[in-house]
Amino acid sequence: ASMWPKGFGVKLETITPFLGKYRPFVGRCCQTCTPKSWEALFHKNIAALGFHNVILVTEENTRYRGWLVRRLCYFLCAMDWKITLTPDAWEKVLGSKWIQEILSGRAPGGAGEGPKPSSLRRDVQHTLGQIQASIYPFLLRIFNWAFLKFLNCIFLNVQLHQGQLAMVRQAAQADTPLIFLSAHKSCLDGLLLPFLLLSQGLGVLRVAWEPQSYSPALRALLRHLGGLFMPPEANLFLDNPKGILSRAVLSAAVEQLLASKQPLLIFLEDRPGAVGPRLSSHGQAWLGLVLQAFREGAIPDAALVPVGIGYDLAPDVQHTGPRASSSHLGLWWGALAVFRGLRGHRGCARIDFAQPFSLQEYSVNTWSRGRSRGQSLEQLLLQTVLGHWSVLPDCEKQQEWTPASGPLLALDEEDQLLVSRLSRHVLSASIACSAVMATAVMAALLLHRHRELLENFSWLTEETLLRGFDVGFSGQLQDLVMHGLCLLHGSLSLWLLPQGDVLVLPRAGPTLAQLAYHSAALLPVFLCEAVGACAVRALLAGRVPPEGPWELQGVELLSQRELHRQTLLLLHLLPQDLLLLQPCQSSYFYCQEVLDRLIQCGLLIAEEAPGTRLTCDSGNWRFGEKMLWRSMEDFSDSDSDYEDGTDSRCFKLSQQLRCPDFFLFLCRLLSPLLTAFARAAAFLHQGKLPDTEAGYTQQLHQFLLKKAQEDGSFESTDLSQAHSAVMTFKDLGVLKEQPGSTGSTLHLSPAFTIQENREKLENFICQFICG
């Protein structure tokens, strides 16, 4: 029997997404932070322009016709692409304000403090050669011709929305440079996006690469293709002469590039397979250079374009999960990707451009609100975990895991804070506009052991579309299911049943990590509902047994105050890298959105609390002396008017047949990370401390693997989950970092040397986990 009906949720009309009759237009910019940009570059006809396969090149894409053209169409098309270069980059960099101050000795570390101007000129030229190199148009055309053939070997199609491209074209006509700020799903991203823009006539895209990920020979090739690399000396101390010179050359090069209106691509998400914060310190440093150029008046403004990327199966993510990715991109990676493509495991790719918005408008509106930095996780949550507080502080959480690099530290403190908020805001927009691929839907259904794949695949696709997210596929339902199963075949077992049907089961073992990796793409879609479901689970944990029937749990009344408190506790516990809440959105507002989503999807229904006036009775309500028309940011738990009204509302779990399975599905979306956190709490008395952060993370990872061998929970064994647990416990005050002669080491906090407090921490986390 099907676990979910096909039409779950509130439907205003019947939709058939597989026939292309309904698709949300994703990527609108924030109306709170950039209202003028929200109204610009968009009209209602954009959403109806449809999609285009950018790797489908025929003779119609060239100026010629004939049988020979059909065989050489890739090469002829590459020869026709427009390439516009800006010469004399060296002279412009040398004449910039930054370099002239060093040559004249006015800046620290300049010519007046040691080296001669001739020696400094050689150092400037050497540093500029580390950053960029001359672009050879013929090499660029030959490379993109070969890359086009390469893409056709590993992908069935690479889809791009024509309406999104039209917005980018319109923004490119303004007198401001385009800054593409992208998510990072594969090492292929930095090659795919420049190819896409060049093939669509938008010029040569300059890509800010991370030097540590690529071999020296490949870095030299990428520089001649338009790549930019940050010199290693730029991360030296602020008073180091070499660091000052490198940052000056880097700032001058970026100002020259932006002043010439060349588009720039920056990855705000860390590279795939990297263990650490999700926000890239390298990407934030480049974004800080763009902000610095704007502050110095080198450019009047910049158009920021969030970019979302989706792959059915990224070429550099192997069957054992993303951690199999190599730290260096080389020729073997390309050969392996082509071999996999020739074997028939070709997937689809989707690129999404969000609505461009103004850097100037965002910076002005951000500082006009003047929001504070907030409090640490230890100040907000530790006393509640230990049972000393029952009321949460009314304050936002301040959590910053991404270390600031040299170019970012050279900025003012206000600009550093602006870069941090902007990068989190844009990365959230990039993830929101990224399409959900067929492998993500299929992996989520298989990981949570759901039956009737055809019917549930259709249901989950429709629910994704109704929440404002797009999917990166279309076609016949049966073909889509077979396509997803084919790509995930390494993690599945297929059994032929006597009735002629096929039983699909995920393979027990480490291959479950791959399914968990793909299904994580659905978490941003259902994040609000998942947080709310786990909060409801925590409320019910102390009242009814987890194994109890759904009817028994549905009897319990859940007050809005309790739901708000449990949701806020979970929001504080979960890392900011997972939530990616936009800085313009408060935690209280997000808690209200969580409750609204639970009501909207039918999991919660309003119930009258005993002894209260009926909700439908609108007579004699006391509105209070305060104005009713207030900003959402002005509401708080201490508002007396609010307490008299909606805060006293109560809810019950819906008793509809579809609700138990949907509730379990939502809880399981967050279970892998929360399970890793709970096991990290249980590991506190077994871990060998003191130890370095990396060493203790490896200890915890081995413990997670050991527990997974016992109960099969391999979806909670990712190294990034272990790192998130260690970082969260540091912020919470469970682990203390102490400096030493050989570096900083972690020590267990004195409060958690007591077994009772360790059990309180574990129980606090376990209340949000649903089995």
Are residues 421 and 576 in contact, defined by beta-carbon separation less than 8 angstroms? Answer: no
Q: 78 is written with which tokens?
A: 């590459």
Calpha distance 563→548 (Å, rounded):
21
Average pLDDT for 112-120: 64
Query: Where in the chain are the domains?
Result: 35-99+116-317+329-368, 436-497, 672-767
CA–CA distances in Å: residue 449 to residues 3, 520, 664: 10, 16, 11
Q: What is the pLDDT of residue 332?
A: 57
CA angle 604, 610, 615 (to 5 degrees): 60
Least confident among 366-375, 630-639, 694-703: 630-639
Calpha distance 180→190 (Å, rounded):
11
Residue-averaged pLDDT of the chain: 83
35-99+116-317+329-368: what CATH class?
A: alpha beta
Nearest CA-CA partner of 731 in 269, 385, 274? 385
> pTM value?
0.89
pLDDT tens by residue, 84-102: 877 767 788 888 888 888 7
**In this model, does residue 523 exceed pLDDT 80?**
yes
**Proportion of the chain above pLDDT 70, given as a percent:** 84
Helix (H) or strand (E) holding 748: strand 745-748
Which parts of 173-276 fold into alpha helices (H)?
Answer: 189-199, 216-224, 241-259
For 155, the 3-state DSSP assignment is strand
224-226-231-234 Cα dihedral, nearest 10 degrees: 160
Sign (positive/negative) of CA torsion 492, 493, 494, 498?
A: negative
Average pLDDT for 643-665: 77
Which parts of 33-125 are beta strand (E)? Answer: 51-53
Average pLDDT for 621-644: 43
Buried b or exposed e, range 34-73, using 16+ CB within 10 angstroms: beebbebbbeeebeeeebeebbebebeebeeeeeebeeeb
Q: Across-strand partners of 214?
A: 329
Nearest CA-CA partner of 396 in 568, 593, 192? 568
Tell me the DSSP string of 683-703. Answer: TTTTS--SB-HHHHHHHHHHH
291 CB neighbour count, 10 Å cutoff: 20
Calpha distance 545→554 (Å, rounded):
12
pLDDT tens by residue, 330-341: 555 555 655 655
Are residues 753 and 732 in contact, defined by beta-carbon separation less than 8 angstroms? Answer: no
Calpha distance 367→365 (Å, rounded):
6
Going by the DSSP 8-state scheme, the letter that residue 261 receives in this structure is T
Cβ neighbours of residue 764 under 8 Å, at least 6 residues apart? 385
Buried b or exposed e, range 214-247, using 16+ CB within 10 angstroms: beeebbeebbebbbbbbbebbbbeeebbbbbbbb
Calpha distance 725→729 (Å, rounded):
6
Sign (positive/negative) of CA torsion 67, 71, 73, 75?
A: negative
Instruction: Judge if 35-99+116-317+329-368 and 672-767 fold alike in CATH terms.
Output: no
Q: What is the pLDDT of residue 550?
A: 61
Calpha distance 163→51 (Å, rounded):
8
pLDDT confidence of 13, banded at 50, 70, 90? very low
672-767: what CATH class?
A: mainly alpha
